[in-house]
Amino acid sequence: MHSKLYKKNRTGLLLGIGLIGLFANYANATEGGGGIYPNGAEGMMAGAVPPPGFYYLNYATHYSANGDEMGADLQVNATANVSRFVYVTEKKLFGADYGVYFVAPLLHVSAALDTHSPAGTISNSDNGLGDISFSPFMLSWHSKNLHTGVALEFSAPTGDFDKNSIANLGRNYWTVEPVFVATYITDSGLELSGKFMYDFNSENSDTDYKSGQEFHFDYAMAYHHGPWAFGIGGYFYQQTTKDTGAGVTDPDGNKGRVFAIGPSMKYDLEGLSIEVKYQEEMWVKNRTEGDKVWLKMVMPL
C-alpha cells in the first residue's frame, strides 16, 4: 500500500513567500508583525519531494486577522495566488536527488487601523507581485517509509513597500532560510510530516529596522485511505532574537509567537494532487491573530 501512496504523493514542498507586510507603531514580532514565509503552507507529505522532473504547484490562500494581541485596533486581509516551479534533476549529490525551485506570489492586501485619535481610521490596500523566493540548492532522500529533504532558500525584496503604508506587498529586506523537511508514513497509511525553517533577515534600508531571527515549522498528522487523506495540521512560530532599530521599545525586543491548528483533506488523481485546509491561530504574542484557508494543487509538466 505504501509504494502506491508514495508514487502519488511525492509532492511535498519547500516553499517561501511573503504574504503580508504591515507597518504600525505597536509591539510587533519582527517589523510589521510577520515573517517572509506564509506559515502553514505545507502539511501532508511535506518531506516527499517529487521524483526527477518538472512540476507546477499553485496555492490559493486567504488570511483574515486582527491586531488585538499587538494592542492595535487593526483589521488585516490578505489573499494570494502563488505559482511555484520545481525542477528535480537526474543528478545525485550525497546520495540525494538534486533540484531547484522558484516561487512568485500575486497578492491583494488590505488593512485598516483605528488610531483612536483625531486622525480617525487609516486604511490602505495594494495588489501585485510580492517578494519572490528561490532555491538553487535542494536535496531529497527517500526510503520505504521515510522521506527527507534540505534546501537553502533566498527571498528577495521584489514586492512594493512604502514605510508610510500599513499594507505592503513586500518586506523590503532579504531573508536567507535553511529548510529541513521530513515525512514518515507507515504501511497502513498513517503519516507524520514537518517542515522546519530558520530565518536570517537583513536590515530594511528604508526604515533602518532589522527584524530578529525566526524559528518556525509546519506540521501534519494524517491517515491515507485510497486516493483520500484526512488529518490535522498547522504551524508554530517563535522569534528567537530581538528586533533592533528605531521603534523597538519592548525590553524583549518585540519577540513574537503563534501556534495554529486545523483540519485538512487531500485527494490524489492521476498526476494531480489537491489539498484543502483550514488553520486557526492561538497563543499569539506580538503578532496579528486570525485564521487561514488554503487550496493547493500539484501537477507534473
Quote the pLDDT of residue 16: 34
**CATH class of the domain at 2-300:** mainly beta
Percent of the residues in the chain that have a pLDDT greater than 70, as a whole number: 89
Lookup: cell for 257: 509567537
φ/ψ (deg, to 5) at 98 = -105, 135
Q: Which residues contact 220 (CB under 8 A, 6 or more apart)?
A: 42, 43, 44, 46, 191, 192, 193, 194, 231, 232, 233, 264
Quote the pLDDT of residue 24: 33
pLDDT of residue 6 exceeding 70, the answer is no
Quote the pLDDT of residue 32: 65
Enter the pTM of the model. 0.90
**pLDDT by residue (tens digit) across 132-170?**
999 999 999 999 999 999 999 999 999 999 998 888 999
CA 120 to chain centre: 33
Lookup: cell for 283: 497563543
Confidence of residue 17 (pLDDT cuts 50, 70, 90): very low
Phi-psi group of 111: left, alpha or beta (phi > 0 → left; psi -120 to 50 → alpha; rest → beta): beta
Question: Domain locations in the chain?
Answer: 2-300
**pLDDT by residue (tens digit) across 173-188?**
999 999 999 999 999 9
**pLDDT by residue (tens digit) across 189-235?**
999 999 999 999 999 999 999 999 999 999 999 999 999 999 999 99
